[in-house]
Amino acid sequence: MTVPEGWRCCSLGSLVSTMRNGYVCKQSRSGEGYPISRIETISQGVIDLNAVGYADIPLPEREKFKLQIGDILLSHINSLKHIGKSALYKEDFDLYHGMNLMLLRAKKGKITPEYLHSLLTTTDARSHFRRFAKQAINQASLNKQDISQLEVLLPPLPEQKKIAAILSS
């Protein structure tokens, strides 16, 4: 494959500053406590505030697990059909990173969150995730290494912004 000038091949792991699991706790749908992401929160490829859970989250964990604009939540524990689904956190409202979703935070100056999210929605990425998923009864999972090894084409930042703008319109 010919790589356009200024573009390069690299691993997903080299493009993120943070890749971690969410806060593990008991969740409810009662509306009491702090809103926390669940697998259902991103099932449609966007963050659905009507599909969050609620939990008592102590202050140190709230500081660590509060989502930041540009964070990406990736379904790394799910049925094989849904493994690798993702959503980009675009608006600043209180939402905390819950279990069964992997948080990816783009490295500033290397990749834009919007372009990173667009890469995760490609057929190649979803195929990679399905290929590396470890399967158990009715559930599949990916670990950090499986996710990190995804090879992507990375254009210069100005190109990333243009591509992401086109894809989001």
**36, 98 Cβ separation under 8 angstroms:** yes
Tell me the whole-structure pTM to 2 decimals. Answer: 0.95
Specify the DSSP class assigned to residue 132.
H
pLDDT in tens, 93-131: 999 999 999 999 999 999 999 999 999 999 999 999 999
CB-count burial class (<10 Å; 0-12, 13-18, 19+) for 22 = buried
Confidence class for position 1, pLDDT limits 50, 70, 90: low
pLDDT at residue 2, rounded to an integer: 80
Residue 21, token pair as written in the block: 């699991």
Residue 89's SS3 state is coil
**Stronger pLDDT, 167 or 57, i.e. the higher one:** 57
pLDDT in tens, 24-36: 999 999 889 999 9
Residue 35, token pair as written in the block: 């809103």
User: For residue 25, which of 14, 17, 35 has the smallest C-alpha distance?
Assistant: 35
**What is the chain's mean pLDDT, rounded?**
95
Mean pLDDT to the nearest integer, 58-82: 96
**39, 101 Cβ separation under 8 angstroms:** yes
Locate all alpha helices (DSSP H) within 30-106, ordered by sequence.
59-65
Quote the CA–CA distance of 17 and 19 in Å, as a whole number: 7
